[in-house]
Structure formats: C-alpha cells, structure tokens
C-alpha cells in the first residue's frame, strides 16, 4: 500500500493566509517542506482521507486522477477536512466522470496518541508512526519538528510525502 500525504497543515495552512508571524514568513521564504496545505491523505489511488479546500492544488501538484477514488473518509466535519462545495464539481455539467458511486464514511473519531495505541496493543513494533496536521501557532519549522519527533521514532509528514508499505 502507498500512502501519499497531500496536505499536512491544520485549518489555516502554513503559511497562514493573513499571517506575518515568524514561522509563516520563514515558510514563504524557504518554500519546500515548510509549505503545508490543508490536511488530506491518499491511500493507493482509490481511498482518500478528508477533502480539504486545497484538493484542487493537490490534484494539479501531484498529477492525481481523483476519479479513481472509490472511498472517501472524513475524520471530522471542520471545513479544512470537508469542503463539500468542491464535491459539486463531480456533477454532470462540471465533470465528465465514470459516475461510479463513491462510498463516504465519517465519524467523530479523534486522533489517538501513540501512547494509547501502545497501551492497547494496536501497533506492531515495526509500525510506521507519522505526525501531520500542523498549525503555525506551534511556530515549528519542518526541521524543528523533525528534531522533536525523530528521537521518538516518529516521522514528520510534509506535503507530497509518499510512504510505501508492504
């Protein structure tokens, strides 16, 4: 299975739209991994997690064929995870699509911590743990985050990152 991190920021993105804080200015200057769009992941080519307002950007940047999506999972209904207005683009008149059904799933589940998973035996020892969904409020650059999480065996996601799983 392949996991593609399409966007790895919280609601406001990094840089945040109207922000002049240190992290946002630095992100604009450095670009690359410091630019984080709103959160979403693609598993192989057909299961998408969340549908943020940056989906158009993700499609163009990574050359995605969104019509291959069969399942769409919403982690929750905040606008950075569910920008339902863009789903209208799949209707006749806006898209020449296969018109196959897309199964949609959603619930109120929140992110569980590594501790919780470990305590409950959910994770195998060789499991990959990746952090995503960053806010500029943390004022942490990609290299800051990497420094913090690497000693704990946790990878820091960046936009466009791809994980290949056996």
Binding positions for Zn ion, rule: CB under 5 A: 10-11, 16, 19, 21, 24, 80, 136
Instruction: Tell me how far apart the alpha carbons of residues 130 and 20 are, in angstroms, rounded to a whole number.
Output: 28
Residue among 36 and 136 whose Cβ is closer to Zn ion: 136
Residue among 32 and 153 whose Cβ is closer to Zn ion: 32
Residue among 31 and 125 whose Cβ is closer to Zn ion: 31
Query: Closest approach of Cβ 53 to Zn ion, in Å?
Result: 11
Residue among 42 and 80 whose Cβ is closer to Zn ion: 80
The closest of 132, 131, 137 to 150, measured between CA atoms, is: 131
Both tokens assigned to 30: 């450095």
Query: Closest approach of Cβ 133 to Zn ion, in Å?
Result: 6
The closest of 60, 20, 71 to 37, measured between CA atoms, is: 60
Query: Closest approach of Cβ 79 to Zn ion, in Å?
Result: 9
Query: Closest approach of Cβ 64 to Zn ion, in Å?
Result: 21
Question: Do the beta carbons of residue 11 and residue 47 sit within 8 Å?
Answer: no
């Amino acid at each position: 299975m392949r996991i593609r991190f399409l966007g790895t920021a919280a609601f406001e993105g990094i840089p945040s739209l109207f922000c002049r804080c240190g992290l946002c200015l630095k992100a604009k200057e450095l670009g690359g991994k410091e630019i984080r769009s709103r959160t979403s992941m693609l598993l192989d080519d057909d299961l998408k997690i969340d549908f943020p307002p940056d989906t158009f950007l993700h499609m163009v940047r990574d050359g995605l064929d969104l019509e291959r999506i069969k399942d769409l999972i919403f982690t929750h209904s905040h606008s950075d995870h569910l920008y339902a207005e863009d789903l209208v683009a799949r209707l006749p008149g806006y898209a020449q699509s296969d018109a196959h059904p897309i199964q949609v799933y959603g619930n109120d589940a929140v992110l569980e911590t590594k501790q919780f998973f470990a305590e409950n035996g959910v994770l195998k020892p060789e499991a990959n743990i990746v952090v995503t969904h960053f806010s500029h409020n943390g004022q942490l650059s990609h290299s800051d985050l990497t420094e913090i999480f690497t000693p704990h065996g946790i990878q820091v996601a960046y936009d466009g990152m791809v994980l290949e799983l056996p």
